[in-house]
Structure 1
Amino acid sequence: MKNINNNRFNSVQVGVGFHCLPKASGHWPKLHRLKLPFPENEYQRKEIELKNRIAQQVSNYMNQKKIIENYEQKQLPKSETILAAAQKQMDAGEIDYMTWVLLVNQAVKTKADYIDHLEKT
C-alpha cells in the first residue's frame, strides 16, 4: 500500500457468502425437480414464434434455391460461352488484350457470385 496516490480514488471490495438457513440450502435440489405449470399463453406465443421462424427459413431457402437454379440454367452457360468466344477472338486477333480481360473478368465474376450463393445455402 506504499504506492497509493492521494490524488486518485482507490477502493477495495471483498465479498463473503454464507447460508443463513442451513436447512433451506439442502432443499435447493428438490426445488429444481418440481415441475411448475407452464403458462398456456406463453406456450402458444413461443409456438407461433417458432412457426414464423421456420416459415421464414423455408422462404429464404426457396429464394436461394431459385437463385442457384437461375445461375445453373442460364448464367453459368452464358459465362462459358463468353469465355470461349473471348478466347477464340483473342486467338484470331479480333479483340485486343484489354477487351479480352474485361470479358474474362465478367465471366469469372458470374462464377464467383454463383459460389457465394452456394455458400449461403
Structure 2
Amino acid sequence: MKESFKSHEDLAIFNLAFNTAMTIFELSKRFPVEERYALIDQMRRSSRSVCANLAEAWRKRRYKAAFIAKLNDCEAEASETQVWIKFAVKCGYLEVEQGRELYRTYNQVLSGLVHMINNPNKWIIHF
C-alpha cells in the first residue's frame, strides 16, 4: 500500500484536511473583527495543525510509537476544529448547513486518521 505514497501530500486524508482548512480560512474572513484573536485564530490554527501534524507523522514512520503519537495529535486537532465549527454556527457566523458540511468533512478526516492509527504497520517504514 505505502509504495504508492511518496509523500504525505499523496494521502487523500491530507488533501481533504488541507482543502477544508482553506475553506475555513476563507469563511472566517467574514467573521466579526472582534473574533480575530479568539474564534478565528483558534479555528485556523487547529484546522491547519491537522495538516502539519500529519506531515510530521509521515516523516516519523520509522518509529511506530512516534508515528501513532503524531496521528493522535492530528485526531485531537480535528476534534478541536469541530468544536470551533459548532461555536461559529451557534454564534451565527456560519450558516447551519455550512457548519454541518464542515463537521461531516472532519468526521471523514477523523475516520481516516483512526484507520491509520489502528493499522500503523501498513504505513510505517520497515527495515
Tell me the TM-score normalised to structure 2 length: 0.39
Structure with greater Cα Rg: 1
Q: Give the number of the structure with larger relative contact order, counting CA–CA contacts within 8 Å between residues 6 or more apart.
A: 2
